[in-house]
């Protein structure tokens, strides 16, 4: 949780980003996610040359999955380090990162693949119906794309924003061709902090939607009570 001072600094940063970016192409649900990435990287290219791209169902599918307690499979521990830890606790989302498992290394050697590829394969059951978050390893993203094409997994959302030179841009381009909900970006830029920012932003949207629903529900309940009282009073009168 943020302190009051910390929140005021964050709010000021967000206002500064809004002022500097000016007119942009994103809608009211997409922009808070892009802005969160810019906030975590100080890089406005994520709304310009290396712009973030959303599948039409990405935000809705991701939020519903989080709300229903889905697993979140990440490629590296750096993604976990950037997450607000209270969010997965509150919504009972299991965070999975297999990259440091010694068995992964042995399998990767035998199959002549990267650890990132194998770490995705062994998380198959959690990826199916879950959220995949890749901020570092293009080979992990390519492996998930292949698993989707094989028909063995259907993630609720793939966040594919790996950074690098080899297969980074290409893997994102392949992701954008899928019918599966995704969030990605153009070019080589990306990284763990960007990937974490997207998840944190989705949780924030989810909390705001739940808060709005509760407020509306309370208002509706109170309205019904008042209406019932008025009807009863009119009868007695």
Between CA 144 and CA 41 the distance in angstroms is 26
Task: Kindly provide the b/e burial profile for residues 92-130, where b requires at least 16 CB atoms within 10 angstroms of the residue's own CB.
Answer: ebebbbbbeeeebeebbeeeeebbbbbbbbbbeebbbeb
Please say if 39 is a catalytic residue: yes
Phi, psi of 113 (to 5 degrees): -125, 170
3-state secondary structure of 203: helix
Nearest to 161 by CA among 86, 74, 77, 87: 74
Q: What is the dihedral of CA 170, 32, 76, 144, to 10 degrees?
A: -40
Main-chain phi, psi angles of 74, to 5 degrees: -115, 160
Catalytic residue among 24, 39, 55, 220: 39
Cα–Cα distance measured from residue 211 to residue 185, given in angstroms and rounded to the nearest whole number = 30
Integer angstrom CA distances of residue 4 from 7, 8, 84, 202, 215: 5, 6, 16, 22, 23
Q: Which residues are catalytic?
A: 39
């Amino acid at each position: 949780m943020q302190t009051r001072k910390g929140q005021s600094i964050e709010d000021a940063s967000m206002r500064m980003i809004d002022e500097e970016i000016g007119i942009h192409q994103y809608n009211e649900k997409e922009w808070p996610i892009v802005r969160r990435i810019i906030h975590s990287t100080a890089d406005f290219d994520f709304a310009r040359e290396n712009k973030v791209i959303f599948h039409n169902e990405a935000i809705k599918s991701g939020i519903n999955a989080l709300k229903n307690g889905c697993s979140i499979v990440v490629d590296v521990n750096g993604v976990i380090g950037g997450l607000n830890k209270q969010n997965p606790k509150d919504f009972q989302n299991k965070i999975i990162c297999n990259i440091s498992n010694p068995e992964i290394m042995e399998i990767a050697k035998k199959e002549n693949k990267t650890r990132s590829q194998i770490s995705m394969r062994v998380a198959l059951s959690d990826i199916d119906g879950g959220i995949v978050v890749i901020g570092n390893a293009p080979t992990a993203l390519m492996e998930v794309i292949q698993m989707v094409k094989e028909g063995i997994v259907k993630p609720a959302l793939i966040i594919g924003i790996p950074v690098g030179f080899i297969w980074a841009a290409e893997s994102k381009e392949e992701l954008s061709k899928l019918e599966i909900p995704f969030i990605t970006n153009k070019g080589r830029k990306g990284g763990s902090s960007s990937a974490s920012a997207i998840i944190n932003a989705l949780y924030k949207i989810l909390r705001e939607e739940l808060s709005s629903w509760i407020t509306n529900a309370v208002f509706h309940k109170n309205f019904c009570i008042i209406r019932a009282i008025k009807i009863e009073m009119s009868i007695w009168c």
